[in-house]
């Protein structure tokens, strides 16, 4: 059992993580798909937004911004070319480190590769799963190149664009599983809209990944009946982690999902987060920012029957176990 996790400011003991947001993004470039609001790169804004979570008693944010989402996603982007190798842009990593220091938060950095259409098919065609895994392990054990040794603490988010796993995504997921076996780090996936988290689990476990160290992301965007419970029954974490809208119907549906999982005996498998990844989701631009889960969503959960101790368990013990067990 590991009792610490690497963060942007160094190793942190499990008991010091505090309240955790397990699926967020600080600086991110999604403009391939979202030209209007898909770039978060302003350091002062990100610092101010995260201070809201700090003021609510927050302790740790998991930044699942993988390699393909980082070029151009930093205030000093382009100041110098990134070093060779498929990893996070060092400018992105160092910006996250500065924000962590300014806010006092622990920020766990993700490594690995995102999903189609962001994946570099030419690069993937020239690298097998073992070679990709070696680079992921390097980020976890030696640090991201060009950052002075800032290390990743989790693999992710890695995943799928559609309802199936493409050839490049399969190689990425196999590499993630092999890197988990070599490093002991957790894996966090992207599995939105369709129940593709189940074949993701099949693939990861076929490579020897421990389902107890796997989180399937965006389960709250999948409406297939029983899907979230199937994920939990297999021992993986259920990401109720796109809690980034105040639309009453969407909030109600996520509240019901959490309560159903708790009543079915799966309180230990739930992760709550926002997945802030767009300018429009920040408080400064009218969104809920990094504080919505611990304000309105918490209030509605408690009003619907969850008790405060159960909410604390979900937002402290569960992500700490994922990161450090």
Nearest to 319 by CA among 43, 93, 106: 106
Residue 195 near residue 222, CB atoms below 8 Å? yes
Q: Work out the angle at residue 278's Cα, subtended by the Cα atoms of residues 272 and 279, and round it to the nearest 5 degrees.
A: 120
Residue 259 near residue 304, CB atoms below 8 Å? yes
| DSSP state string for 239-278 | EE-------HHHHHHHHHHHHHHHHTT-GGGEEE-----S
**Across residues 201-223, what is the average pLDDT?**
98
Average pLDDT, the chain: 96
Share of the chain above pLDDT 90, in %: 94
**Across residues 255-261, what is the average pLDDT?**
98
**Across residues 98-104, what is the average pLDDT?**
98
Evaluate if residue 82 carries a pLDDT over 90: no
Alpha carbon distance 318, 54 (integer Å):
19
End-to-end Cα separation, the chain, in angstroms: 5
Q: Give per-residue pLDDT as tens, 66-81.
A: 999 999 999 987 766 6
Taken as a whole, the chain contains a residue count of: 325
Which pLDDT value is given to residue 80? 66
Q: How many CB atoms lie within 10 A of CB 127?
A: 17
**Across residues 76-92, what is the average pLDDT?**
77
Residue 106's contacts (CB-CB under 8 Å, 6 or more residues apart) are: 7, 8, 9, 12, 16, 17, 18, 59, 60, 61, 100
* Local structure of residue 293 (DSSP, 8 states): I
Using a cut of 0.95, tell me whether the model's pTM lies above it: yes
**Across residues 246-264, what is the average pLDDT?**
97
Q: How confident is the model at residue 1 (pLDDT cuts 50, 70, 90)?
A: very low
Which pLDDT value is given to residue 260? 98
Alpha carbon distance 112, 68 (integer Å):
9
**Across residues 294-308, what is the average pLDDT?**
98
Which pLDDT value is given to residue 183? 97
Evaluate if residue 243 carries a pLDDT over 80: yes
Alpha carbon distance 270, 240 (integer Å):
7
Residue 119 near residue 168, CB atoms below 8 Å? yes
**Across residues 81-86, what is the average pLDDT?**
64
* Local structure of residue 216 (DSSP, 8 states): E
Residue 196 near residue 173, CB atoms below 8 Å? no
Alpha carbon distance 297, 217 (integer Å):
18
- 79-93, 140-154, 243-257: segment of lowest average pLDDT: 79-93
* Local structure of residue 81 (DSSP, 8 states): P
Which pLDDT value is given to residue 86? 77
Report residue 98 as tokens. 């500065």
Q: Give per-residue pLDDT as tens, 111-125.
A: 999 999 999 988 999
Residue 67 near residue 88, CB atoms below 8 Å? yes
The position carrying tokens 């988990």 is 180
Which pLDDT value is given to residue 77? 77
Q: How many CB atoms lie within 10 A of CB 102?
A: 16
Which pLDDT value is given to residue 78? 72
* Local structure of residue 193 (DSSP, 8 states): S
Evaluate if residue 39 carries a pLDDT over 50: yes
């Amino acid at each position: 059992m590991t009792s610490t996790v690497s963060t942007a400011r160094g190793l942190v003991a499990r008991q010091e993580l505090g309240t955790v947001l397990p699926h967020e993004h600080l600086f991110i470039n999604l403009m391939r798909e979202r030209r209007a609001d898909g770039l978060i790169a302003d350091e002062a804004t990100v610092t101010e937004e995260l201070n809201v979570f700090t003021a609510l008693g927050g302790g740790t944010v998991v930044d699942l911004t993988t390699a393909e989402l980082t070029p151009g996603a930093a205030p000093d982007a382009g100041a110098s070319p990134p070093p060779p190798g498929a990893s996070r842009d060092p400018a992105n990593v160092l910006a996250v480190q500065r924000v962590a220091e300014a806010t006092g938060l622990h920020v766990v950095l993700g490594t690995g590769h995102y999903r189609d259409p962001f994946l570099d098919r030419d690069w993937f065609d020239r690298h097998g799963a073992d070679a990709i895994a070696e680079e992921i392990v390097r980020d976890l054990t030696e640090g991201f190149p060009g950052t002075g040794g800032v290390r990743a603490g989790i693999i992710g988010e890695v995943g799928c664009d559609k309802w199936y796993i493409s050839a490049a995504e399969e190689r990425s997921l196999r590499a993630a599983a092999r890197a988990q076996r070599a490093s002991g780090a957790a894996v966090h996936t992207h599995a939105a809209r369709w129940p593709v988290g189940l074949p993701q689990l099949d693939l990861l476990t076929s490579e020897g990944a421990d389902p107890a160290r796997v989180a399937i992301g965006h389960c709250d965007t999948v409406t297939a009946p029983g899907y979230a419970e199937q994920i939990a029954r297999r021992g993986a974490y259920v990401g109720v982690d796109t809690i980034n809208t105040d639309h009453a119907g969407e909030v109600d549906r996520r509240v019901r999902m959490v309560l159903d999982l708790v009543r079915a005996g799966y309180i230990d498998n739930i992760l709550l987060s926002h997945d802030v990844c767009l300018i429009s989701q920040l408080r400064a631009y009218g969104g809920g920012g990094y504080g919505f889960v611990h304000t309105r969503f918490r209030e509605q959960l408690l009003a619907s029957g969850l008790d405060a101790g159960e909410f604390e368990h979900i937002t402290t013990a569960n992500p700490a176990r994922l990161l450090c067990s």
